[in-house]
Each structure stands twice: as structure tokens, then as C-alpha cells.
Amino acid sequence: MQEWEARQAIQISKLFGSYFAAVDSNDAQRAGNLFAEDGALISEVMKRSCYGRSSIIAFLHELRSGWTDITIRISPPNVTFENEREANSECYFTVYGPQGLDHWATYHDQFVRQGGTWLFKERRIVLLGASPLSRVGAGRAVN
């Protein structure tokens, strides 16, 4: 990792922090604004693909307004840079609910730097496992 990459990785860490603060407080608008205008959120966990910021905001609102008692914990992301304006990462995460561990999965992210700010260009969520009582396992996460 070169010095410029380390400096930009700090900015991408900030993006991660902002995303989870917004999502876990059910603020879909704030979370959605962390995506590029033409960004994508592809959730293989929820079997939904959203293209464009407004579609992402609508999905996050639908998802988290009906599922408010969960929180997300992430493992540090493995960030690699294509250039000074494009980067990728993979990041594991666990989701906990009132009954404990709910499910665990991977974020596969593409980032784009626009106007000096890093945004999600694409976030793809791939499920690794779920507890037997999880809504994810039962396919009832979004209704």
C-alpha cells in the first residue's frame, strides 16, 4: 500500500462509519446519500437489486423501518485501489438481533471519488450463513 492509498483508505473508512451509523439508526435518506447518483445496491441476502440513489433510499427505508432491532458489526475492509478515483473492497459483517447472532455475510464494494468525496458505486451483499431463527433464513426480511 502506497502513502496516497493509505490516506484515501482513511477516507473510505469514514464512508463505512457513516453508512452504518445511518443504517442502524434507520435513516435511509442519509445512508442512500452515501451512494453515487447512479449507484447500485445488490442484496443477494434480500434478493433485491436497486439501481440509482432514489431506488436505494426506498429499499433501505422499506427494509429497516420494518426491522429495527438489529445492528451490524463489520470486520475491517480489505481496500484495493484501481486509481485515485476508484477503489474496491471486501468486508465481512455480522448482524445481531434480540436473540443474538442473526446472519453473517460479505460486502463486495466498488467506490468512486466524486468532488473529493468517496461514495459507493456498487455494494453487493453475499450471504455466508444465518441462524435458524433469522428472517433472512426464512426469506421474510422484506415484506
76 binds other proteins (CB under 8 A): yes
Residues 94 to 133: which contact other proteins by CB under 8 A?
A: 94, 101, 104, 106, 128-129, 131
Give the C-alpha separation, 95 to 116, whole Å: 31
> In what helix (H) or strand (E) does residue 63 lie, and over which residues does it extend?
helix 53-65
Contact 70, 88 (CB under 8 A): no
125 φψ region: left (φ > 0), alpha (ψ -120 to 50), beta (else): beta
Nearest residue (CB) to other proteins, 26 versus 94: 94
CB of 10 to other proteins, least distance (A): 6
According to CB under 8 A, which one of 40, 79, 87, 141 is a site residue for other proteins?
79
- Residue 120's Cβ-count burial label (10 Å; 0-12, 13-18, 19+) is buried
String marking each residue 18-57 x if it binds other proteins according to CB under 8 A: ----------------------------------------
Give the C-alpha separation, 3 to 22, whole Å: 29
Question: Which stretches of the chain bind other proteins, using CB under 8 A?
Answer: 1-3, 6-7, 9-10, 75-79, 90, 92, 94, 101, 104, 106, 128-129, 131
